[in-house]
Amino acid sequence: MDIKKQVVSLTLAKKLKANGYEQEGVWWWQLSITAGTWSILPQYIQTHGVVAPTVAELGERLGMWRKPWLCDDEWIVEVRVKSCGKTIEAGTEANARAKMWLYLKKEGLL
């Protein structure tokens, strides 16, 4: 399976970092200084990178929160807090979990 389907997008990886997501993980989005492009590498090698959490890593961090499911080619996560609910959709399970983490962090639930 393509690793890009198992890790969060570069955009979400940057948002996670900006919101305090711990920069530890197996996969990293790395910026090539010479080429000016981003790619996924299996370990943190340079100073110009952000962690690209996997589905499993995000699952460990989210713990008790509901797991996503696939519906019509979109990954969906539903969060229920008290009587309120929040539905989060994304193109990959990793991105759905990342968006869920960002939502829970914003709401002070992590």
Least confident of 18-22, 32-36, 67-71, 79-83: 79-83
C-beta atoms surrounding 100 within 10 Å: 24
- 3-58 pLDDT, tens digit per residue, is 888 999 999 999 999 999 999 888 999 988 888 889 898 875 656 789 999 988 99
pTM check: above 0.85: no
pLDDT band at 84 (very low <50, low <70, confident <90, very high): low
Integer angstrom CA distances of residue 101 from 13, 15, 33, 43, 76: 11, 10, 30, 22, 13
Residue 83 scores a pLDDT above 60:
no
Angstrom distance (rounded) from CA 94 to CA 6: 6
> Bigger pLDDT: 74 or 17?
17
What is the pLDDT, as a whole number, of residue 45? Answer: 63
